[in-house]
Amino acid sequence: MRHLLSTKDLTRDNAIAILDVAEDMAGVADREVKKLPALRGKTVVNLFFEDSTRTRVSFEVAAKRLSADVINFSAKGSSVSKGESLKDTAQTLAAMGADVVVIRHAASGAPKVLADSGWIDAGIVNAGDGTHEHPTQALLDAFTIRRRLYGPDSRGRGLDGTTVTIVGDILHSRVARSNIWLLTTLGASLRLVAPATLLPVNTSGWPVTVGYDLDAAVDAGPDVVMMLRIQAERMNASFFPSAREYSRQWGLDDERVARLPAGSIVMHPGPMNRGLEISAGAADSAQSTVLEQVANGVSIRMAVLFHLLSGSDA
Amino acid sequence: MTARSVLQQADIARALTRISHEILESNRGLSSVDGEADLVLLGIPTRGVLLARRLGAILDGIQPGAVAVGALDVTMYRDDLSKNPTRASSPTEIPPGGIDGKTVILVDDVLYSGRTIRAALDALNDFGRPRAVRLAVLIDRGHRELPIRADFVGKNLPSSAEERINVRLSEIDDSEEVTIG
Amino acid sequence: MSIRITGATLPDGTSTDLFIENGVFVDKDTSTGSTTVDADGLIALPGLVDLHTHLREPGFEQSETVLTGSRAAAMGGFTAVFAMANTLPVQDTAGVVEQVQALGARHGYVTVRPIGAVTAGLAGERLSEIGAMAQSRAKVRVFSDDGHCVSDALLMRRALEYVTTFGGVVAQHAQEPRLTLGAQMNEGALSSELGLAGWPAVAEESIIARDVLLAQHVGARLHVCHVSTAGSVDVIRWAKARGIAVTAEATPHHLLLTEELARGYDSRFKVNPPLRRDEDVLALRAALADGTIDIVATDHAPHPVEAKDCAWDEAANGMVGLESALSVVHTAVVASGELGWSDVARVLSGKPAEIGLLSGYDTPFRVGSPANVTLYDPSATRTFAVSDLRGKGLNSPYLGRELPGRVIATLHDGYATVLDGELVDGDTVARAAHHG
Ligand SMILES: [Zn+2]
């Protein structure tokens, strides 16, 4: 594996291998010595054109636990045109000898452009590009689901037969896209629930069923309910009339959580709008995996960096 | 090119029994303090773990409770990650008593360059501070690149670097033998 | 100066020799010291006319100039181009359009006819000085805010009516702005997957529907730029059936390329309107064949390298198209049998000249007509490369693609601008233009 740009590129075996390595990486966090020497001498650059402290710190901890050198490069707010800064920055990083570039960018496809450009020879990890994909988030979600379902017997397993309902702003969600491809590859079946305004105009090629009714989706008793964040900028763009109406129709409130089967889990990629797409009670319930998702993010990112930097004479 | 069988099932069993006795001899006064084994066998995945379990069973038959068995994955400690195909890691299992102050015996199927054992020594370092570390292998094929030698050897098998040595164990393979070719 | 072309195949398939003297066709070779061009195996097309070119000068000379764009045009077999108004300053006054027209005339590679802005500064708020531009030395007859849609219905109505006063036509860039906020590519299954904001077909079709009804209501002529969807074709076909005076163009790239090219986020394929689906491409070809779409126009849109060397969202819209247009039309609709060479002469020369009220193109090859000729070798093939480009822009979507045909010679008003497949040097062309 040279780059991680989209979960569409992952085979089932690839994906399971990453999840399995992440299981080992998770064990490291419990040791007295929380560091592995695997990436000693390698340089990982966090290239963030968009603010995301959570994701950046997660990658940084992951790289450091593997003994890599980490450079944080925040390219936001540069005075040159944004386009020039992607190319110029890439060439600068190439000159610094970056082995892996972890890139977050507001433009869909920017990591792919970087990987194909010839400006830099490093492995590229997509840490979220526009409204396209966020592959490591999907991997950590899959990892979290698998651990909840199978515990210590997780290793080697997919998510065959698991039912997952994703609720909210599918149209603008890179988390949703990455999860749709990955969870399907792992054998899960997916349902999307949102108002029609927040669904892509054409999902005919997607391996999902689509609906508008959250209550019906809850009563179907899915194994997993994944709530997506509603961005503030959608509020006044006529995607729905008001936060109150959205919350009433598509928010996961205490009453809806109570109707879920006891074994169902509730996920959210964070940061949450408590009281909008998810109630405080739902977010803090025993069914919620929100905090596990954060912890698992480090293990998954360790596994991804390990996969990118091993196996090819990079 | 066909491979030639150099150890059969009975040979492997004999070698393991012999190694067990050598281990006992070199660790005279082997005891279990407060029910905790003094001796820890750590197999290196994949086949080293199976061999460690077999040795543990033999030793347990001779002196019950004297040894604990675990596994030590060295994937993340190798110095040749980018030169070899990506390998899946396996779980490390340190027995409940830990390794501090214990005699640890690393167990692997084949000793070759010594790089795996070097990685294992690094890994061990991150889990505790043993009193002593020993090495037991089923096959020593030579061609060492590091100053490492085994304390317990099932069979010395001088080989050319071009030859492949294959250890098959019935727990995971469809036969039980060691071949060269 | 006289030129003799021997053995050329005319668009109707007949073979003939052509004699040119003092800029026009004559009926036989009267001079002795004439240049002879062997056109055996070559098709003689009337000089090509592009109703939709961006020459970028004044204001964006890092992208293109009148000279470099004229050279690109000549290389592609064009003898006249209509230069879009989105320059800086905008072509919204007599002064600017006269300057552009004069630059074209001075260089001499092609006839440059400036297009006037419909609204002052392309701002979509009030009419520009349409009458002054029409009556200037540039004699502007085509008015367009291209790059922007005249989206205000009342302003569009007024523009259609007012332009009629001067015998002109409004060329509309049909794009409902609110439906295309932040739009990046055709809206559909692929945009949903790639996470790129969609440019829905309805944003084009709804404006065309409105505009043909307005044109009917006020009895004006309307031209629709770069039609890109099957739905737009339906609307235009309906309008023509009702007798509405609408004409329409398709670009070479919309006749050949599809949205699938966006999959790799390679911004060379980012253009406005965006590349569409297979079924749209097929509908455009059929419409060009049956006359629903009248002409092919390039929408030649050069950009500096840095405007394309970036993420898709950040890249500029547009492709260069002058040098490749004839080959692309050849492969898209001639090779398939949908158009013959006389149709090509119509959609790339006669009809665009008629829409733009450009004289001299109504009776090609006839004795006394201006000698605008393109000699094209239809049997050649080439892998299109940067070395085939003559403008400043390298943003061609065809680089690395196999294309048929090659322009061997271009004659503008009786003098050569391209000979033996290469541009004639600028001094020679300028001298010929001024003494011709
Ligand atoms: Zn336009």
Q: Among C172, C146, C186, C190, which Cα is nearest to C271's?
A: C186
**In this structure, is residue B1 part of a structural domain?**
no
Q: Are strands C15-21 and C24-26 parallel, antiparallel or unpaired?
A: antiparallel
Q: Report how far ligand 1's centroid is from the alpha carbon of C252 (Å).
A: 14
- Whole-angstrom CA distances from C379 to C37, C325, C327, C329, C345 are 18, 16, 11, 14, 18
The length of chain B, given as a count of residues: 181
**Distance, in angstroms, between B132 CA and closest chain A CA?**
20
DSSP-based helix, strand, coil % in chain C, nearest 5: 35, 20, 40
Per-residue pLDDT at A314: 35
pLDDT at C308: 94
**Chains interfacing with A (3 or more CB pairs < 8 Å):** B, C
Strands C422-423 and C415-419: antiparallel
CATH of the domain at B152: 3.40.50.2020
* B8 belongs to a structural domain: no
The answer to whether residues A249 and A218 touch, using CB atoms and an 8 Å cutoff, is no
Helical H segments across C89-152, by residue range: 94-107, 130-135
Q: Is residue B124 part of a domain?
A: yes
Taking 90 as the threshold, does the pLDDT of residue A223 lie above it?
A: yes
What does pLDDT average to over chain A?
A: 93
Residues B71-99 have a mean pLDDT of: 82
Q: Mean pLDDT across the stretch A95-118? A: 95
Q: How confident is the model at residue A133 (pLDDT cuts 50, 70, 90)?
A: very high
- Which range marks the domain in which residue B112 is found? 32-80+87-162
- The token pair at B164 is 């492949």
Interface contact C310, partner A, CB < 8 A: yes
User: For the residues A170-186, what does the mean pLDDT come to?
Assistant: 98
- Burial per residue of A204-231, b for 16 or more beta-carbon CB atoms within 10 angstroms, e otherwise: eebebebbeebeebbeeebbbbbbbbbe
pLDDT attached to residue C287: 98
Closest CA to A54 of A170, A147, A169, A136: A136
Give the number of other Cβ atoms within 10 Å of residue B56's Cβ.
Answer: 23
B1 pLDDT above the threshold of 70: no
The H-assigned helical ranges of C346-396 are: 351-355
| pLDDT tens track for C203-225 | 999 999 999 999 999 999 999 99
Domains along chain C with CATH numbers:
47-365 (3.20.20.140)
Task: State which amino acid sits at residue C113.
Answer: R
Is B43 part of a structural domain of the chain?
Answer: yes
- Give domain status of residue B153, yes or no: yes
Q: Which residue of A has its CA nearest to B93?
A: A27
| In contact, A190 and A207? CB cutoff 8 Å | yes
* Nearby residues for ligand 1 (ion, Cβ within 5 Å): C 146, 173, 225
> Distance between CA C265 and CA C250 in Å, rounded?
24
Taking the CA of residue B81 and the nearest CA in chain A, the distance in Å comes to 5
State the distance from the centre of ligand 1 to the C-alpha of C76, rounded, in angstroms. 21
What pLDDT, on a 0 to 100 scale, did the predictor assign at position B86? 63
Q: Does C314 touch chain A (CB under 8 A)?
A: yes
Q: How confident is the model at residue C191 (pLDDT cuts 50, 70, 90)?
A: very high
Percentage of the residues of chain A whose pLDDT score is greater than 90:
81
Q: Give me chain B's average pLDDT, please.
A: 90
d(CA C145, ligand 1 centre) in Å: 8
The span from the CA of A311 to the CA of B66, in Å, is 40
- When CB atoms are compared, the residue of C189, C266, C307 closest to A204 is C189
Please report the domains of chain A, with CATH numbers, ordered by start residue: 7-133+294-310 (3.40.50.1370), 135-289 (3.40.50.1370)
Alpha helices in A118-161 (DSSP H): 135-150
Decide if pLDDT at A238 tops 80: yes
Mean pLDDT across the stretch A65-93? 77
pLDDT in tens, C135-185: 999 999 999 999 999 999 999 999 999 999 999 999 999 999 999 999 999
Distance CA C162, CA C314 (A): 37
CA B110 to ligand 1 centroid distance, Å = 71
Say if B73 falls within a structural domain: yes
In a domain, B10, yes or no: no
Touch of C by B (3+ CB pairs closer than 8 Å): no
| Whether residue A73 has pLDDT greater than 90 | no
Nearest chain B Cα distance for residue A230, angstroms: 38
Give A142→chain C minimum CA distance, Å: 20
Across chain C, what does the average pLDDT equal? 96
Q: Which residue has the tokens 């905008």?
A: C90
Classify B50 as helix, strand or coil: helix
> pLDDT tens digit string along C238-289?
999 999 999 999 999 999 999 999 999 999 999 999 999 999 999 999 999 9
Q: Specify whether the CB–CB gap between A108 and C313 falls below 8 A.
A: yes
Domain count within chain B: 1
Residue B129 lies in a domain: yes
pLDDT, position B83: 67
- The band of B30, judged by pLDDT with boundaries at 50, 70 and 90, is low
Confidence band of A83 (pLDDT split at 50, 70, 90): low
List the single residue in A109, A110, A200 with the smallest CB-CB distance to C192. A200
Residue A195 neighbours by CB under 8 Å, 6+ apart: A212, A239, A240, A246, A249, A250
The whole-number average pLDDT for the span C325-345 is 98
**Residue of B77, B79, B89 to mutate for A, most A C-beta atoms under 10 A:** B89
